[in-house]
Structure formats: C-alpha cells, structure tokens
C-alpha cells in the first residue's frame, strides 16, 4: 500500500512591506516616496495572490494552518513532482513560483510542512463587552 505524500505552497502575504524595505536599500529620498511607489505594487501582489489561491482551490488545494499569521499555506495530497506538473498544466506554475516562499532547497513547492506538522487555524479569543447601564 503506497502512502500518499503531501505538498505545500507557502506564500508570504502581509509582511511584504517589511520585506521590501529590507530587500532594497533606501536609495529614495524619503520613506513616503518609497511608500507611494510600493503601495500600487502591494495591491497588485495581493490581488495576484487572491487569484492564484482561488484557482488552486478550484483544483483541490486547500488552506491549512500557517506557521505564521503573515503567511498563507496551501496543501494538497500529492507528491511534489506531480503537483508541479499539475500546476504547469493549469498554467499557474510561473505565477506560483513568483509568489511562493521557497523551502530550504529553493523549491517553490514544499515536500513537508514548514513546521513538520499541520496546525489548525487559531481561534480568536472572545472579549466580553462591558455591561450597559440598563444591564447594571
């Protein structure tokens, strides 16, 4: 009986501004000048991520608990090579490769979960509302 392997795609989503600041030395005169240039890029990136996730979800990929809040992690019960071939067939491989955070081997598709196990999504804590005057 052959065991089915899982493949993961890790996409860094919300920390992109910090990454861009770290990646490019500030050769512009001001942070606001950089931010004006970066904001249209970030909106385009987030729209691209949403499109790729929608397309992958239509073809059997599903989101699982991410190691960090700023990441998006997709999972599929399929070997890494087969997953890559499927994404090429769907014509999203280049888009995934541009968006995905590579693993230690530089691969866009992770052969194992980044933390070694799947984490359920975190539950938000409920905060009690203070009583109103009528409830006192």
In a domain, 68, yes or no: yes
In a domain, 132, yes or no: no
Q: How confident is the model at residue 1, as a pLDDT?
A: 41
Structure tokens at 45: 């990136």
CB 13 within 8 A of CB 49: yes
Ordered DSSP codes for 75-110? EEES-HHHHHHHHHHTT-HHHHHHHBPP-TTS-SEE
In a domain, 124, yes or no: no
Q: Write out the chain's pLDDT in tens, 136 residues.
A: 445 688 999 988 776 666 666 666 655 566 777 777 777 878 888 889 899 999 999 999 998 877 667 788 999 999 999 999 999 999 999 999 998 988 888 899 998 888 776 555 555 556 666 666 765 5
Q: How many domains does the chain have?
A: 1
In a domain, 123, yes or no: no
pTM for this predicted structure: 0.68
In a domain, 32, yes or no: yes
Query: What range defines the domain where residue 89 resides?
Result: 6-110
């Amino acid at each position: 009986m052959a065991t089915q392997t899982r493949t993961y795609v890790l996409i860094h989503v919300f920390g992109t501004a910090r990454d861009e600041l770290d990646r490019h030395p500030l050769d512009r005169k001001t942070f606001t000048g950089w931010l004006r240039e970066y904001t249209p890029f970030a909106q385009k990136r987030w729209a691209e991520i949403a499109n790729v996730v929608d397309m992958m979800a239509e073809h059997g990929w599903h989101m699982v608990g991410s190691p960090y809040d700023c990441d998006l992690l997709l999972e599929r019960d399929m070997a890494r090579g087969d997953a890559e071939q499927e994404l090429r067939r769907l014509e999203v491989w280049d888009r995934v490769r541009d968006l995905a955070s590579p693993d230690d081997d530089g691969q866009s598709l992770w052969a194992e979960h980044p933390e070694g196990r799947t984490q359920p999504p975190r539950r938000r804590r409920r905060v009690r509302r203070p009583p109103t005057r009528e409830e006192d």
